[in-house]
Copies of this chain bind each other. A is one copy, B any other.
Amino acid sequence: MADEPIRVTVWGEGRHEKRDANVLAHYPDGMHATIAAGIAEHAGPAVTVRCTTLDDPEQGLPDSLLADTDVLTWWGHIAHDEVSDDLVDRVQRAVLAGMGLIVLHSGHYSKIFKRLMGTSCALRWRNGDDRELVWTVDPAHPVAAGVPSPIEITNQEMYGEFFDIPAPDELVFVSSFTGGEVFRSGCAWRRGRGRIFYFSPGDQDYPVYHHPDVRRVIANAAVWAAPSATREPTPISYAPTDWFAKP
């Protein structure tokens, strides 16, 4: 509906790439660059994509950039605690005002995801080089468009239930792993005026963000999460006296 491209900002923690040769081998320009390239590749002219990282000024998200972002993607892992509470406040306000948020993999434990969910967001996990199969349980959902069911990810960390999240407003994907575990791997919520999507594939130890179907899902999610209207903060109070007309 919008004629303007959706302004996507890919936020990356950017730390594994600085210390783990294995991660750097998969992602020489950083995981964020690969995620951004996947979105650009699949969403095409519908989006413009920028990258930013924790070690950039203002932890990568000055107010000016946040105000210029329609959809934010978030990947973090070993530095969740370094993200300032002030940034979490600002991102939360942006989401409630309409900005879309895509949380990826270990971002389940980020401050911003826990803030928006209200739960512990804990899960089971095992780094055991499992095969993950990502099954579509809502085949008409726009986020699932154009990918096979299942998506097969040959090498991946296992994430399993119980995943301590609010029941999703829309459950799109459920994964199984070699060990027999299952996981709600694609979950959508509406919070305030914003849309949130969590997608679990994507451990730093495996080249998951090069997988074409994974890229397609993230691009779909970015388009789906875009606000349909101008961002609007929720007012703190109202004076709706126009409807007050007692006899």
Residues of A within 8 A of B (CB): 1, 92, 96, 98, 115-120, 122-126, 128, 130-131, 133, 135-140, 142, 145, 149-150, 158, 160-164, 166-167, 169-171, 174-176, 178-182, 184, 189-195, 223, 227-229, 232, 234-241, 243-247
Contact = CB atoms under 8 A, between A and B. Distances in A.
Given A137-B162, A227-B140, A180 B150 contact: yes
Given A170-B167, A234-B164, A238-B125, A190 B140 contact: yes
A122 B235 contact: yes
A128 B135 CA distance: 19
Contacts of A158: 244
Given A123-B238, A140-B192, 14 more contacts: A92-B118, A124-B238, A131-B180, A137-B182, A138-B167, A139-B193, A140-B190, A140-B227, A167-B170, A175-B182, A178-B246, A179-B245, A180-B246, A182-B182
Nearest to A92: B118
A161 to B, nearest CB: 5
B149 A239 contact: no
Contacts of A115: 118
Contacts of A150: 180, 243
A119 B229 contact: no
B140 A228 contact: yes
Nearest to A231: B140
A92 to B, nearest CB: 8
Contacts of A124: 237-238, 240
A77 B80 CA distance: 33
A163 to B, nearest CB: 7
Contacts of A128: 244-246
Contacts of A235: 122
Nearest to A189: B166
Shortest 8 CB-CB distances between A and B: which pairs? Answer: A140-B193, A124-B238, A247-B247, A179-B244, A176-B176, A116-B118, A118-B118, A179-B243
A88 to B, nearest CB: 11
A167 B161 contact: no
A137 B189 CA distance: 16
B167 A171 contact: yes
A187 to B, nearest CB: 11
Contacts of A181: 133, 135, 176, 240, 243
Given A120-B234, A169-B167, A192-B120, A142 B180 contact: no
